Homo-oligomer: A and B are copies of this chain.
Amino acid sequence: MKFALHKTKTMEKKPKRTDVNKLGEFGLIDHLTNSHQCINPSTLKGIGDDAAVLDYGGQPIIVSTDMLLEGIHFDLMYTPLKHLGYKSVVVNLSDICAMNALPLQITVSIAISNRFSVEALEELYSGIFAACRNYNVDLVGGDTNSSKKGLIISVTAIGTGAREKISYRNGAKPGDILCVTGDLGASYLGLQLLEREKQIWQSNPGIQPDLEDQTYLIGRQLKPEARTDMVLSFEKGGFNPTSMIDISDGLASEIHHICKNSGTGAIIEEALVPMKDETQLMALKFKLDPITCALSGGEDYELLFTASEKDLPFIRSLPGISIIGEIRPPEEGIQLKTVNGNFHEITAQGWQHNQ
């Protein structure tokens, strides 16, 4: 191989330039990685699910990784560093849960500009360790780096579960019931509240922020939890989802992943989508359609899963689970049945009138 200063390549001559936004995040990953063939027999599942699954001869190894960037994923204006540390761990643990597995270890790499003090990092790590304690997870590696600007956190989570219980995105079958844990949309509305107060404060720093005592909504945004409790309940009940994914980008996006991977359609009933009263009220206050907040808001870190009809009694017996619809044949598409009985197509971004 010949080495040269490739200025011409990277800096001057650009024969073709396709904007990355043209492909979108998922399209971009697909485009960049679809030529890659996994060759090691120890790779059971590569790219394309919530986590990879490896087999080194013992319990399966579930691995997931996520990067969080200041100014993109979080705003330090209203995100306490301790909460940020906690959340950056939790969002990765949630991916392990989505495989019906439990996390055991994490690595954390951070990059910081010199505006961060040792005390600020202690705050961040106190949140990381709080998450480790809450979820019985060990911090086993990582590095610290300098950044030119801002804070960057990259977490890898590793865990395991019984081989026959691992839930992928591709196991849903027409007739399966569609379920979600907890409630949706609250995190998104917590973010709206924080953003509103930030705007007000920026135009007049003398004004005290008014978060309207919305502890629940703001807590869902700043300090989400991973549903390891659900994974444990499933195990205790001898129940395996036919497919599962965690809700990080919004219900609409996640149901698309399940249907695309499983080769199915789905129907979601608006009236069955779990939302707290305070979420719905705050949506209306922001002049937003509550169901849109649930479909497109994201950052709920709840589990969306499908179950065989035979598991209906178990699902019904478990508190904190809502049956929100059904998996349908692929030709029926992915639809929302509104409270008025109308049907609308759900796009990955949310839903739109099918006219």
CB of A32 within 8 Å of the partner chain: yes
Residue in contact with A117 in the complex, picked from B14, B38, B55, B194, CB distance below 8 Å = B14
Binds B, one of A152-160, A171-179, A319-327, A342-350: A152-160
- CB of A42 within 8 A of CB of B156, answer no
CB of A247 within 8 Å of the partner chain: no
Looking across the interface, which residue of chain B has its beta carbon closest to that of A21?
Answer: B114
- CB of B146 within 8 A of CB of A72, answer yes
**Residue numbers in B under 8 Å from A1 (CB-CB):** 219, 223
- CB of A52 within 8 A of CB of B114, answer no
- CB of A52 within 8 A of CB of B19, answer no
Residue in contact with A107 in the complex, picked from B5, B72, B156, CB distance below 8 Å = B156
Nearest-CB distance from A188 to chain B (Å)? 16
**Residue numbers in B under 8 Å from A73 (CB-CB):** 145
Known: A112-B20, A114-B21. A52 touches B11 (CB 8 A): no
**Residue numbers in B under 8 Å from A222 (CB-CB):** 3
Looking across the interface, which residue of chain B has its beta carbon closest to that of A44?
Answer: B140
Known: A156-B107, A197-B5. A47 touches B223 (CB 8 A): no
Looking across the interface, which residue of chain B has its beta carbon closest to that of A221?
Answer: B3
- CB of B144 within 8 A of CB of A28, answer yes
CB of A233 within 8 Å of the partner chain: no
Binds B, one of A59-67, A237-245, A300-308: A59-67
Nearest-CB distance from A87 to chain B (Å)? 12
Q: In whole angstroms, what is the CA distance A8 to B5 when docked?
A: 48
**Residue numbers in B under 8 Å from A156 (CB-CB):** 63, 65, 107, 156
**Residue numbers in B under 8 Å from A352 (CB-CB):** none
Known: A43-B140, A105-B42, A223-B3. A23 touches B72 (CB 8 A): no
- Main SS class of interface, A: mixed
Residue in contact with A39 in the complex, picked from B2, B72, B136, CB distance below 8 Å = B136
Known: A156-B156, A158-B61. A148 touches B148 (CB 8 A): no
Looking across the interface, which residue of chain B has its beta carbon closest to that of A48?
Answer: B141
Contact with B along A261-304 (1 / 0, CB 8 A): 00000000000000000000000000000000000000000000
**Residue numbers in B under 8 Å from A121 (CB-CB):** 20, 28, 32
CB of A22 within 8 Å of the partner chain: yes
- CB of A56 within 8 A of CB of B46, answer no
CB of A339 within 8 Å of the partner chain: no
Q: In whole angstroms, what is the CA distance A223 to B6 when docked?
A: 14
CB of A149 within 8 Å of the partner chain: yes
Contact with B along A63-106 (1 / 0, CB 8 A): 11111011111001111110100000000000000000000110
